[in-house]
Amino acid sequence: MSRRWAEAALALNTVLWGATFVLIKAALRDISAVLFLSIRFGLATIVLGLFFRKQLLGKREPGTPRWGGVLTGILLFTGFFFQTQGLRFTTAPKSAFLTGLTTVLVPLVAALVYKVRPRLFEVAGVLVATLGMALMTLQWPIGPMGLGDVLTILGAAAFAGHIVTLGHFSALVSFPVLSVTQVGAAAVASLALLPVMESPRMAWHPAVIWAILVSALLSTALAFTIQAWAQRYTTSTRTALIFALEPVVAWVTSFVVAGEGLAGHAAVGAAFILGGVLLVELKRLDSPAHPNG
């Protein structure tokens, strides 16, 4: 039952991220990317720090590796950073697909780092969902791989590392501490790179303000707290597979808000993604003691 609730909560995260994609994309026309990330993670850290101040200031249990939150936060920021930089040199559809390769990379990273072998139905679900992402996001002909594609793949690898690492430390550190430290580490990393990577710019339009508030409070503070709690009860591979639903949610939002429909092959891709998730649910699997795979 805990696993079902956890996976339902992770599905809620895909709704939060997918539904806010259009809002954030529009705001980035009026605010530079790293500055946006700095404000987003910084505001989320302040809110989470105030909300979980008792847990942060409470007595630390012996052997609790609070540095795990710092590591997951650095991986989280690295993923966002490479994804944003890669988008400067590649198309949005290719970026969406290559970022979606996180779903494939998670079981590979888990097997490499923690020697955890994914289940047969999980592997099948990942492959079906990846095919769906290709159909849904890629435009043909694809074209040769460029710098932007390489940067985006590095971002996907960092996101995969974040999911696997968070899955490991979620069993060792309380989710309030884990959520605050990872978001705080991402805020520090983005602030440190801000003067190096760009000349900050921002226009105080209502769209920018709304994007900052929604992304900081919902897509970051709430979403990553949910993930830190939920990954204690499910595997990293299943987490990545659930997150594969994000482009489907983003499309539904775009359709409702902007009236943007899907081409025939993209609609088939969305069905494949849903099918990949459902395929895993056809088989009841026992959760491992340490759900890293």
pLDDT tens, residue by residue, 109-152: 888 887 777 777 777 777 887 787 777 666 656 566 678 888 88
Residue 136 forms part of a structural domain: yes
**Which domain range does residue 17 map to?**
2-281
* pLDDT greater than 90 at residue 186: yes
Q: What is the model's pLDDT at position 125?
A: 77
Average pLDDT over residues 227-245: 87
Average pLDDT over residues 228-247: 85
Q: What is the model's pLDDT at position 182?
A: 94
CA gap 142, 240 in Å, rounded: 24
Q: Per residue in 2-36, is it b (16+ CB within 10 Å) or e — as a string?
A: ebeebbebbeebbbbbbbbbbbbebbeeebbbbbb
State how far Cα 35 lies from the chain centre.
19
Residue 16 forms part of a structural domain: yes
* pLDDT greater than 60 at residue 287: no
Q: Up-side HSE of residue 269: CA atoms within 13 Å toward CB?
A: 24
pLDDT tens for residues 80-100? 888 877 877 776 667 777 777
**Between these two residues, 249 and 64, which has the higher pLDDT value?**
249
Considering its fold, how many domains does the chain have in total? 1
CA gap 81, 187 in Å, rounded: 12
Residue 286 forms part of a structural domain: no
Q: What is the model's pLDDT at position 286?
A: 43
Tokens standing for residue 32: 């530079």
Residue 292 forms part of a structural domain: no
Q: How many helices (H) and strands (E) does the chain have?
A: 14, 0
The pTM score is 0.81
* pLDDT greater than 90 at residue 197: no
pLDDT tens for residues 247-282? 777 667 666 665 555 556 667 777 777 777 776 666
Residue 82 forms part of a structural domain: yes
Average pLDDT over residues 277-291: 54
Residue 70 forms part of a structural domain: yes
Q: What is the model's pLDDT at position 288?
A: 46
Residue 204 forms part of a structural domain: yes
Q: What is the model's pLDDT at position 259?
A: 57
Question: What sign does the CA torsion over 257, 260, 264, 270 have?
Answer: negative
Asked if omega into 141 is within 30° of 0 (cis), the reply is yes
- The residue whose two tokens read 């999980």 is 122
Q: What is the model's pLDDT at position 285?
A: 46
**What CA–CA distances, in Å, run from 54 to 41, 200, 222, 224?**
21, 35, 18, 19
pLDDT tens for residues 17-54? 877 777 887 788 888 888 999 999 999 999 999 999 88
Residue 287 forms part of a structural domain: no
Q: What is the model's pLDDT at position 91?
A: 67
Quick one: pLDDT band at residue 1, thresholds 50, 70, 90?
Answer: low
Partners of 31 in beta bridges: 202
CA torsion, ordered 12, 4, 163, 116, to nearest 10 deg: -160
